[in-house]
Homo-oligomer: A and B are copies of this chain.
Amino acid sequence: MTYEKIIGIGGGVGPMAGVILHQKIIENTLTNGTDQDHLEVHHFSRSSDISDRNLFLLEGIGDNPALGLIRTAEIAKHVADYTNKGIVFGIPCNNVHAPSIINPIKEAILQMEPKIKFVDMIGETVSRITTEYPEISRVGLLSTSSTRKIGTYRKTLEPLGYSLIEVEEDIQEQVHDSICNTSWGIKAQFPVTEKARENFERFAKMLKDQGAQAIILGCTEIPLALPQTEIYGIPLIDPMESLALGLIREANPNKVKVHSKQAVIQTVK
């Protein structure tokens, strides 16, 4: 039997994002049809210990959210020691992957290797674009205003030679609103409202018209409005799905569902 690792989810950022990641892990795990053939997943949803990401990133208010997430990794390390198993650890939040938050987390987890290994959501997403769509050089991004402002994807993609394409400044407000509006935004209503869905189709069309050859859905909520794998003939890339596939691969490479090309991709560090 292969030495299979536990998948650890550093959850609570936000609480539902962790649940969606967990679901995507189950859906993308290759099994023989029995419950017993699924991977072991430990989801530590610890929102109350993790400071507000937006306040910290945009206004410098509060503790670094890294602190609470490092405490989560320490709990995972403790479970790894107790069960004598390795843990591959991922965090389902775009804002947490801003350098000022993710770097201290990565450094702390590096000290816990080989018991804990970190799988980077942005790295997995970019790795997927590089290997699944080698012909692409112009990548679109739909995200909240804070992810855009921080430039998490831009800073990763541009050094690799990609152009990052975003909607015009005055449209960005509409994108943000279509996610966060408390009456009709994606966060507010499930199933997603017709208005939010139509808006995202329109934003995707704009990016395509600006030259995007693929679009990253850079906020965990956007795939609820754009659940399809492509639109107007260009692929939609869901970072949460990339993270799920990366975690499965690192836990047991034989368990990545074959429908995905991700199976053979190695993590971009």
Residues of chain A touching chain B, judged by Cβ–Cβ distance below 8 Å, are 4, 11-16, 19, 22-23, 26, 34-52, 75, 78-79, 82-83
Contact = CB atoms under 8 A, between A and B. Distances in A.
| Oligomeric state, in copies | 2
A13 B35 contact: yes
A48 B79 CA distance: 17
The 3 closest A-B pairs by CB, nearest first: A43-B43, A41-B45, A14-B35
B15 A35 contact: yes
Given A43-B45, A45-B22, A45-B42, A36 B50 contact: yes
A4 B47 CA distance: 13
Given A75-B79, A82-B78, A15 B43 contact: no
Given A19-B26, A78-B79, 19 more contacts: A12-B35, A12-B38, A12-B40, A15-B26, A19-B19, A19-B23, A22-B22, A22-B43, A22-B45, A35-B50, A35-B52, A36-B51, A38-B48, A39-B48, A40-B45, A40-B49, A42-B45, A43-B43, A75-B79
B26 A16 contact: yes
Contacts of A26: 15-16, 19
A156 B79 CA distance: 36
B47 A35 contact: yes
Contacts of A37: 47-48
Contacts of A44: 42
A45 B50 contact: no
Contacts of A19: 19, 22-23, 26
